[in-house]
Structure 1
């Protein structure tokens, strides 16, 4: 009678050891697939189909400025020169370039953490009874496989950091070009305003002299003379504002160009830049590609997804292989130094998390919340970009209409001033009448100049909101051999 113990009945299909061995790789693969890198969330890319405040007759406004050279619409060679100098010498742009280089260095070596590593170590150790001392030298090697999505998540983090650095550099270019253009427009506007105020001061002086003559002839009262003299003092005091503005703009341009002082040759003499009729050749959806704040938010999502993947990978074992070659020799004792022995060890390296009281899961929950927040931040960046561009478009439209209306008013005042000169030759108007007509025309020109400056600044703000800036300089070619991206 056979008295061998009976084998327990296995489920159908697993009653043969061969089949079980064949199924083990499939089971392990399914487990690894369940712990793969989390998918990137779908970013909301809904934007309006068109601009609400775009010009109605868009085709009749002429060509649209190039997004990467929009400041050339002013057709001002001095402005073009300043922008080129700022792009080459601005310290903020140089800092941004260095940050890109640092992020690129880390991103290009992401794969190195999951390649075999080797090192050498030496140390001396006495035996417990202090009868001898051993000198040891060893070669260590290890190779972590980067399973459970660890390698790909690490690559996402470094790629996101590189993308953030690139978007910050582009944002710096957008800001620097816009600030150079704005400061240049303000400088030219202050110079023009100073010239007009000098004429106003001369008119106020002439009026005061005429009133003094009339007062001596008993044709004007002392009160009228005092009023004209007060007006002359106010006209002289008004000169200080544009002078201070000119100095501020010059110093600001020097900083933007990376210069330690504003030399006399910083800006050549010239007239204020003028804009013609313009149109916009971009749509709200283009902001997803051109506006650096949106690109930064997109890279923040990529980085947050990688950090979540790393946190999830920490829930599972770290798997790899390691080995060492160690030599030991007794340096103090009865054995000669040359009597050295060596030993080789090699085997799997496994680090399995067991009990951490939920600390790793808490990190996963925190990273998951951070990823959701980054998606909302991306959506917020899109909404803010569209709103800023719409506001800039509306401002440009209103400032253009205001400048056009003031320009029409100058024509009427110029005709009135010319008529006053004619009446003066005929003896029908005196010097005070001519002074009053000239002063009214001068004040209208001052207001029109400020309106034209405001229109130019609104144009600059529009292209800043669109992310208009020169293309970034070419980067070095990516190194080959890079791991998961």
Structure 2
């Protein structure tokens, strides 16, 4: 038997199809973005960076500003071995693999079907075999919502991957700088202990000669005990710092390279006074919040589309083979069917309406969260700028103090060379110089960590300063 839907039934569906084709989903709310002319300000006198975004923007090698090849190799290894980053990459690959499925959701489908069918009185049985074709029309915004949702989930996975990479690199740079600082502090503490021991020996010699009373040794012994305790405390903390850095590297049992000596002349870029807010547009946190908003908008559009009918075009081509009953063994009967499939929701106790209302509330929540992320990111950058300026001033002051003591030491050495002073350096001057170097190391670390915080808040490095007119030549 041959069954074919009449053309009149198809024509009766045309008004509904035209009405559905005219229905378009509502536009999603626009996310809040930093204005192109706005700037993130920090108090203080410093250079102003250009308005345009740097060509090297992105999560690239901002850590190379520290000029440490060992740190560069450490980060390259960690980006290949960190389990959290590898998991984020797998989620990104999964989102990319699912993206074509959204394109095919409302395209024709063809399947091969085979099954047994019995008559209501069970007196006859048939085996039906054939091809089923179905093409659901993505009307009332279903197709657009499906594509928008898949794209938002893909870009959300990309933003989360970039955020994971940025967080890993920032924590690794911070851990490396702190590890290098603790090693320098430990070496400085050992030198201080030797200086205090030398000072105690000199006092002991004067006491033995009767030039000083024995009671003058007690304060020096207390200072020596204090610096020894400080040196031992730093030594006890070094394994913890090493273990933390090894975990961040992705190899808990691997040996860490010995950091190179920190040259005093290795200067970081000067602290800027302000930054254009347009630099924040590609920040992973902002991109993640924006894609969360687009995801919520797509889900709200899909929930709204579910309140309307579903339309599809269906076709069946096959044959029915009688296997039971009086017609068993007869010739197969060909079948051909073509027509629309219409699913009209009539009553569901308010389930679809409740889902649409809930999705609209979630959309408004995502919009508010996106606005909050923008404000928090701008505040974080401004706070990082302020901390960077303060740490920069502190580092310069500590370096000037150390330089002044170095000059005094050099002057004493010149006087000793011409016989105007003792050949050995004065203990007080040497201890003051060691203390000044300790202060400079701390200020230097604070400045470097402030740069890490600023790079993490921005998501990309600072460009080189534009040359000032007349600077060349």
TM-score with structure 2 setting the length: 0.82
Change (3 A) 1:149 1:125: closer
- In the alignment, structure 1 residue 40 sits paired with structure 2 residue 28: yes
**How far did residue 335 of structure 1 move?**
5.9
Paired residues for 1:268-347 under 5 Å = 269-271=260-262, 274-278=266-270, 280=272, 283-325=275-317, 327-331=319-323, 339-347=331-339
- Residue 370 of structure 1, aligned match among 343, 349, 362: 362
Q: In the comparison of the two structures, how many residue pairs are matched? A: 444
1:51 corresponds in structure 2 to: 40
Please report how far the alpha carbon of residue 179 of structure 1 lies from its aligned counterpart in structure 2 after TM superposition: 2.2
Contact 2:279 2:458 in 1 (8 A): yes
Distance in 2 between residues matched to 1:140 and 1:78, nearest whole Å: 63
Counterpart of 2:405? 413
Preserved contact between residue 287 and residue 385 of structure 1 (Cα < 8 Å):
no
Structure 1 residue 311: deviation in Å?
Answer: 0.7
Q: For 1:239, what is the secondary structure of its paired residue?
A: helix
Q: Give 3-state SS (helix, strand or coil) of 1:114's partner.
A: coil
Alignment partner of 1:143 is 2:132 = no
Q: Who is 2:7 aligned against?
A: none
For 2:172, the equivalent position in structure 1 comes to 180
1:70-111 deviations in Å (ceiling 9; x for gaps): 322222322233233333333333222211111111122212
Structure 1 residues 245, 468: CA separation in 2 closer, same or farther (over 3 Å shift)?
Answer: farther
Q: 1:105 aligns with which of 92, 97, 107?
A: 97
SS in 2 for 1:51: strand
Find the aligned partners of 1:38 and 1:26 in 2 and give their Cα distance: 22
The residue matched to 1:262 in structure 2 has which SS? coil
Q: Distance in 2 between matches of 1:354 and 1:211?
A: 100
Name the structure 1 match of 2:224: 232
Distance apart, 1:418 and its partner CA: 5.6
Contact 1:251-1:262 at 8 Å conserved across structures = no
**How far apart, CA to CA, are the structure 1 residues paired with 2:339 and 2:48?**
73
User: Does 2:349 correspond to 1:357?
Assistant: yes
What residue ranges of structure 2 are gaps of 5+ in the alignment? 1-10, 463-473
Partner residue, 2:3? none
Could you tell me whether the CA contact under 8 Å between 2:136 and 2:313 is conserved in 1?
A: yes
- Tell me the SS of whatever aligns to 1:349: strand
Question: Which residue matches 1:10?
Answer: none
CA distance in 2: counterparts of 1:75 and 1:267, whole angstroms = 15
Mapped pair 1:203 → 2:195: yes
Residues 32, 371 of structure 2: 8 Å contact kept: yes
In structure 2, the partner of 1:14 is: none
In the aligned structure 1, how far is the partner of 2:130 from the partner of 2:261?
75
- Partner SS, residue 131 of structure 2: strand
Contact 1:38 1:305 in 2 (8 A): no
| Aligned residues of 2:33 and 2:281 also touching (Cα < 8 A) | no
Q: After superposition, where does 1:241-260 map in structure 2 within 5 Å? A: 241-260=233-252
Tell me how far 1:309 sits from its aligned partner.
0.8
Task: Give the SS at the match of 1:290.
Answer: coil
Contact 2:388 2:447 in 1 (8 A): yes
Partner Cα distance (1:194, 1:454) in 2 = 17
Measured on the aligned residues, the alpha-carbon RMSD in Å equals 3.6
Residues 282 and 93 (structure 1), Cα distance of their counterparts in 2 relative to 1, 3 Å cut: farther
- Give the SS at the match of 1:345: strand
Structure 1 residues 167 and 388, CA gap change in structure 2 (3 angstroms): same
C-alpha separation in 2, matches of 1:179 and 1:307: 35
Q: Gapped runs of 5+ residues in structure 1?
A: 1-21, 471-485
Q: CA deviation at 1:444?
A: 1.0
How far off its partner does 1:172 sit? 1.8
Q: Secondary structure at the match of 2:133?
A: strand
Deviation at 1:437, TM superposition (A): 2.2
Q: In 2 relative to 1, CA 55–72 (structure 1 residues): closer, same or farther, beyond 3 Å?
A: farther
Deviations 1:377-402 (A, max 9, x none): 12111111111111111001001111
Instruction: Note if contact 1:420-1:437 (Cα within 8 Å) is conserved in structure 2.
Output: no
Which has the higher mean CA deviation after the structures are superposed, 187-196 or 152-161?
A: 187-196
Distance 1:469 1:164 in 2: 23
Which region of structure 1 is more displaced relative to structure 2, 445-454 or 37-46? 37-46
Select 2:376's aligned residue among 363, 384, 396: 384
3-state DSSP of counterpart to 1:346: strand
Tell me how far 1:131 sits from its aligned partner: 6.4
The question of whether the paired residues in 2 share the 8 Å contact of 1:275 and 1:456 is answered with no
Distance (whole Å) between structure 2 residues aligned to residue 177 and residue 132 of structure 1: 71
Asked if 2 retains the 8 angstrom alpha-carbon contact of 1:424 and 1:434, the reply is: no
